[in-house]
Structure 1
Amino acid sequence: MTSDLQRDIERIDAIFEAYGLRLNAEAWQRIRQRLTPDREEMGWAIHDAVNRLGSDPISIEAALIAADAAIAAMGEP
């Protein structure tokens, strides 16, 4: 399920790409990074944290599912 925010980000990305806009592209990328957490980075953080706690270890696949759920939960209220 894609959030409204994710759809808006994808639209802006497409506009930049379609029109070859370079003006403010770096600023947009900095803003975009703040709007969308890095799924893989979050997944590895969950994986490492859970496995360090000594509880039942989880796979990176399970951690990425948890990251997806966390990112979705951060969506619009």
Structure 2
Amino acid sequence: MSRTVNNLVTDDWVERITDPENRRYVQLRLTKKGWILHENINSVLHSYFGSVMNDIPENKRTQVVESLELLINAINKNNCC
């Protein structure tokens, strides 16, 4: 984990913020560069999933969403690891 965080800090995606009262407590915050990447990824994913939903017949979309919600709830109840 530390190596991954170090790489993100080095590449200016996140910044470390150390708690002055407890130096063991460190927060990570996205930098401006990190926020721009975050927004770009969200935009691409939103567009992609919009295209996916458009390929599902309109009268079936609610059923698909309800089925996915059931699947997510079942997965969350049954932790595998």
TM-score (ref. length: structure 2): 0.28
The structure with the largest alpha-carbon Rg is 2
Q: Greater share of strand residues, 1 or 2?
A: 2
TM-score between the two structures when normalised by the length of structure 1: 0.29
Higher helix content, 1 or 2: 1
Higher relative CO (Cα under 8 Å, sequence separation at least 6) belongs to 1
